[in-house]
Structure 1
C-alpha cells in the first residue's frame, strides 16, 4: 500500500493540481496531474501508478470524470493512465504517435487527439496544441477563455526542458515555442513545478535562453578538431550532478543537430565541426 499522502491544490477556478509521488533530479517534486472542470471533468497527465495518488485525483474531482488527457507518452506522465481509465471506464486521449526513445511501452490511447481538436467540458473547452520538441507526440492543452495553458513538458517551472534525440528535436521545439507565443496565453500550468504567471515573459525567456545556449555550443566548435557532445557538455555544465551528465550531452547533441540543419556545423565521426562557410 502506498505511504504517499497527496496534497490537492486549487490553482485556478475550475483547476486542481495533485503532484505525483515521483520526485527526482529530472521530475523535481514530481509530475503535476491536473483536474479540470466542474460538472464534467478531465484528468490531464495521471502521473505514476500510485494508489493514493489516483485515489486523490478521483476524490478531488467536483463532477464526473469523462476523459483522461495525456500530454506525451513518457512514463512519469502516463504510468497511472490505464489503471485510472479502467477504474472509471473513461477513454484516454493522446496524440497517436509511438515514440522511438524513452517512452511508456505499455501505454496506448483509446482515442487520438490532433492539433486543433477540442475536449468540451461543459463551459470549459480544452484545445489540443501539437507542440513537438521535448517529444514528437507532445500536446499542450489550451483553455483559451481563461488564457491558461497546460504545457506538459514543453514548459517547466524554473528548469530547462530536456530535448533528447531521437524523439526530442530542438528545431521543432523552437517552432513550438513560437507557436505558443502567438497564442493569447496569460498563465502556464507546467508538467513540473509551480503555476507560471506572465506567460509571454516566460516564453520569451525560454527562447532567449535556447538561443544563448545554441551560440555557446557553436562557440565550442572549431573547423579542424572534432569535439564530442560529452566534451561540450562538461565545458558548459562543469558543476552538473554526475547523474545528469548523459542527459546534458544528449541536450548538446540536440543543439548540434539543429546547427547542422542551419548549415553552421557538420558531424565528423563521433565528433562535430564548425563549418568553414
Structure 2
C-alpha cells in the first residue's frame, strides 16, 4: 500500500498523523489553529490537494478536529464507524463531558507544586468550546461496521472494530500488503492510551488481541512512526496491562483506602512531572478493577479506591 503521511501539531501531546491514500484522507488532526492552518495549506496546494473524501478512525478532537472546524473539508464525504456519527452530531456535548472527566481525574497530589487552574487551562486549550463546530454541516456519507469493506484510493480494505481508546474506534486493514491503519489502538510507548469519556480497558485488551489475529506486517498509527514489528508491540502492550493491573490491585490491597493520586504515586511511581497523567491512568485502572469486583471505587468526584 502506498501512502503519504504528514504530522500535524496539537497542544500538550505528540503530533497527529494524517495519511493520504489515493483520493482518501485518513483523520484530520486537532481543532487548534496551528493544526487547522497547516491542514488548510495542504488541502489547497499541498499533499492533500485533490482529496475527495475522508475516513475517521475515531471521534477524538485530535483526529476529527479538521472535519469539525474546516467547512470545505466537512462538506466532503466522510466514512465513520457506527456510533461515531452520533458523537460527531453532538460534538459540543462530547467536549463538555470530556472536560468534566479531565477535571474529575486530574486533581493534583503534590499540592505544593500545583498550578491552580492548570486543568482548566488545559481544557480550554485542548477541548475548546469558544467556537462553532460543524455538527450539522459534516457530510457523513457512510457509516461502517466491523467486517465492512472500504475503498481507500485504489485499495479495498477491511474495517476492524477496535474499541478501548474510543468506543467507536476502527482500524482499516489491507490484506495484500499486510498494512493496517491502526489509529490509536496501540500507543508508541506500549501503555493503555487513555482517551476521555470513551475508554474501556477490557475492550482495549480485546482489540489488541484482534489486531494480533490479523498478523499485520506494518501498522500506520495515529501518532509516531510506522511500526514494522506489530506482533512484538502488541505482546508488550498486553504485558503492560497485566503489570499495571497487578500493581494497582496489590497496592490497594496492601495500603488500604487511597485516592487515585496516592495510587499513582504508590503503584505507578508518579513524580511531580508525571502525576497528572498517571493519576488519570490510575483512576481508569481502578474503575476497571472495580468492574471486575476486585476492589471498591467511589467518585468524590475524584476516584477513591479501597479493598473489598
TM-score under structure 1 normalisation?
Answer: 0.80
Paired position in structure 2 for 1:127: 158
1:262: how far off?
Answer: 2.6
**Equivalent residues of 1:20, 1:31 under 8 A apart:** yes
Alignment of 1:61-76 (within 5 A): 61=48, 64-76=50-62
Which residue number corresponds to residue 151 of structure 1? 182
- 8, 24, 35: which one pairs with 2:20? 35
Change over 3 Å in CA distance of 1:226–1:253 after alignment to 2:
same
Match status 1:267 vs 2:302: no
Q: What is the RMSD computed on CA atoms of the aligned residues?
A: 2.7
Q: Which is bigger in relative contact order (C-alpha 8 A, separation at least 6)?
A: 2
Q: Which residue of 2 aligns with 1:7?
A: none
Deviations 1:225-273 (A, max 9, x none): 31121111122133352xx533322221221222123332122565222
Give 2:116's aligned residue.
none
Q: How does 1:156-175 map to 2 (within 5 A)?
A: 156-158=187-189, 160-164=191-195, 166-175=197-206
Structure 1 portions without partners, runs of 5+: 1-12
**Equivalences for 1:44-123 in 2 at 5 Å?**
44-48=26-30, 49-57=35-43, 59-61=46-48, 64-82=50-68, 86-87=72-73, 89-95=75-81, 96-97=83-84, 98=87, 99=94, 100-101=97-98, 106=133, 108=135, 110=140, 111-121=142-152, 123=154
1:75-122 CA distances to partner (integer Å, 9 max, x unpaired)? Answer: 111111246672595212212332553678836551322222221246
Give the deviation of 1:54 after TM superposition. 3.4
Pick the aligned partner of 1:137 from 154, 162, 168.
168
Partners of 1:217 and 1:18 lie apart in 2 by 37
Q: Stretches of 4+ moved more than 4 A in 1?
A: 82-85, 102-105
Give the number of the structure whose residues are more often helix, by fraction.
2
Check conservation: 2:185, 2:193, Cα contact below 8 A: no
88-97 vs 196-205, which moves further = 88-97
| Alignment length (residue pairs) | 254
Q: TM-score, normalised by structure 2?
A: 0.73
